[in-house]
Structure 1
Amino acid sequence: MNTLIQITPQLIGTQKTNSVNARELHQNLEIGKDFSSWIKAQIDRAGLEMNVDYIVYAQKGENLSGGRPTSKYILTLEAAKHIAMMSQSKKGKEVRDYFISKEKELQALTVDEPLVLVARILETVSTQNQNILTLLQERNEPRQEFLYIDKPNTRRMHHKLSNEERFIEKVIYILKKEEGINQTELLRRTGKRKDDKSGIKWLHGYDGIYWRANVGKYSSSYSYSLIEEEVAS
């Protein structure tokens, strides 16, 4: 796939993460609105947090028309995917699919010893799964399938974020029972408000990994469906 937008490592807050220049994203989405107004609206609409989802700094000497210097916005790759999806256009889907494809390439490049890495993940996941099952049994809650541990070499793991893991499991469980649920209803069923920033961030962050957001042709909202795991023969 040709390079649409350059993806580079960038320190955002305290984390070094893959990131993109928001102006490049604006250009590739073919937005008619001026960049300054557009990016501020997207940040507000997506509930993005400075130094977590993006950083901004002034570019001195680059405003050829004079006046105040222009601002450079750097977005995390997850934030850029979210904004591309919110554009609800063919171009937005193209850009989002490009990000997902490049993300997979980058992840593959960072694995020097894949078999050793998979073995370590399997060992960690086995212990983690047992701890989760024990916790559910203590609470007398129904046992669920923990789909995200089935293929650790293709699933991104975040062991330190237990609330995030619980959210993933709830969404998977809900979508296995009923697909086509919109974002507001899906958040409600996981016990979160429709404007909950963490829930929205996780929903879009794992889009294309565990579930898929489907944009309606004549609707400004989108529904979710579960991505089925391939079973090895």
Structure 2
Amino acid sequence: MLTTATVLSSDARRRLGDTLDRADPTDELFEMVDDGFFGYWIPEIVEMRMEHDPIHRHKDVLAHTVAVTASTPTQPRLRLAALLHDVGKPATRRFGPDGVTFRHHEAVGARITRRRLGDMGFDAGFVTDVARLVELSGRFKGYDRGWTDSAVRRYVVDAGPLLGDLNLLVRHDCTTRHARKAAALQASVDDLESRIRRLAADDAEARRRPPLSGHEIMQLLDIAPGPEVGEAVSMLLAADRSIDRDEATRLVREWWAERAC
């Protein structure tokens, strides 16, 4: 039996989905603020209207959010992440010597996302993905100050299968009218994606190399060049897991001992 709450949440998901599926949902999103939809289902979106946006120079955070959402491709997961990526700002606003700050608003926004989308009855896996994008949406900040290769790898690992959507969200989270600033952001994301591809290729190549060279295997087994060296290398490459030099040494010795039996 359907309850009133179930019907309401189903209608809410349908309306929100239909709105975000529009090529330009700007007018409908502001209408949903004015007619009470967001006030009931995601009140933090309404609160964003009252928050000045000192970074993007919009009159409020909501205007920036709507602009970001409208600029993204019409993919449900990405568009919802765009709509909610700053939803934690009202709760984290602080004033200090350097002006207004919104520290850790991404983490707070992720918690809000899980709660609000869960209340609306969205699929749990979908909610987890959207919340994760919200949580990671600010990770790219600071890239232009220099990331090590390890930092790039952590970014990729943390994003996992959401990497493509995360990079798109970062690209579209820029509504400045200054062409030079916008171009600089796009160039930075281009550079990050180029490094990701290069590191992926390097890591794949490293996985194709055995942890011990043929010369090291000859020294370890005290043997001359011959087919046994190639067989030992093939054995190491066939290992079904990543192995370090110590384990490779153990495997080669065990393999050699079995051959001698």
| TM-score normalised by length of structure 2 | 0.25
Tell which structure's C-alpha radius of gyration is larger: 2
When normalised by structure 1's length, the TM-score is 0.28
Higher strand proportion (structure 1 or 2): 1
| Higher-helix-fraction structure | 2
